Amino acid sequence: MTARVSWTAVRARRLGRHFLSRPGAGQADTVAAMCGAHAQVRTAAELSVALRTGGTADDVRDAVADHTLIRTFGPRGTVHLLPAQDLALWTGALPAVPRRSTMPSAVRLTDEQTDQVVEAVADALTDAELTADELTEAVVARVGPWAGDLVMPAFQGFWPRWRQALATAAHRGALCFGRDRGRQVTYTSPRRWLPGFRPEETETALTGVLARYLHAYGPATPQHFARWLAAPVEWASALFARAGLRPVDLDGECMWLNADDTLPGSRTPPALRLLPLFDAHVVGSFPRELLFPGVAAHRCLARGQAGNFPVLLVDGVVGGLWHQRRSGRAVHLTVEPFTTLNAAHRRELDEQVALLGEVLGREPRLTIGPVTVGAHA
């Protein structure tokens, strides 16, 4: 018979495996357990990791500088911090995830053109750190002027055609982020920092990524995994079927755990946690209707997408949102709970605010009241 598991136990275990109820053992292992830290907003990624490890934002920046953590394009083609020790796993798996271009046919790269661009990027970055403009010149010089056509809508202008393959080049192990040059990012080859680096065999890597996901976010369905990875559901279902997983019943829905995993126990979630923008825990956790109950779905989701707001977890579910504003040596924190906090929650909130101050190296000042700023603020 399929074992039943409770939502209370599931959310408690997820918080534990994300090191939100106990500190992580180190930055690389902690980020590995999270399946990467979303780093489109670098300060949010630094906060996500530091809150779990008991370190500071400076410690996370140091881990990137010494290449313990690699900033690159990860799941969903978005910028992530990934552990250097796992880069072979991710670059083995991500190229095999089916993607559908949203570009018009007149703009879209063919498969052959994509291969040419990735090869050109790999060659250009072998011993270099190049800005986007410098890399454009290098790619155009290697494959031809078509790669530099300004046809990709981007912000207030257009990007060159080749940049459609930027994330693909990272997924194939040809590119990652280098050191910033002033206000400009640079790109380089991960092989400069990881001698002998090569992507893992595809099927091994795919099953490895699925196992990591289920360890951190399970139980889950193929639909959950597909949404997290921006992959077709049919493809995810086939991967689940090959993996030999263990079925469980969560509130009447069949979900899956790794075959060798234990069932969630009877622990209760920690009382209260503050999580930054795009924190991996909320982006990867499903079902959304259980994690974002009631008013939380309306206030903290954007068309069902999680991560657009920093959130307040109360007993393991989203129970509020918050905002930070830095001023001099202070950080002003506004926290808006969606319900009245009891005495235990209030004590934990004070502890979380103090922890944020330590992570940021600033004096924290707390206001409990409405958060009026919009997404990504």
User: How confident is the model over 257-302, as pLDDT tens digits?
Assistant: 999 999 998 778 877 999 999 999 999 999 999 999 999 999 999 8
pLDDT of residue 328 exceeding 70, the answer is yes
Q: What's this model's pTM, rounded to 2 decimal places?
A: 0.95
Using pLDDT thresholds of 50, 70 and 90, give the confidence band for residue 248. Answer: very high
Query: What pLDDT shows up at residue 209?
Result: 98
Query: What pLDDT shows up at residue 202?
Result: 98
Query: What pLDDT shows up at residue 377?
Result: 64
Percent of the chain at pLDDT exceeding 70: 100
Contact 189, 175 (CB under 8 A): yes
pLDDT of residue 101 exceeding 90, the answer is no
Query: What pLDDT shows up at residue 153?
Result: 86
Residues 177, 179, 181: CA angle, nearest 5 degrees: 115
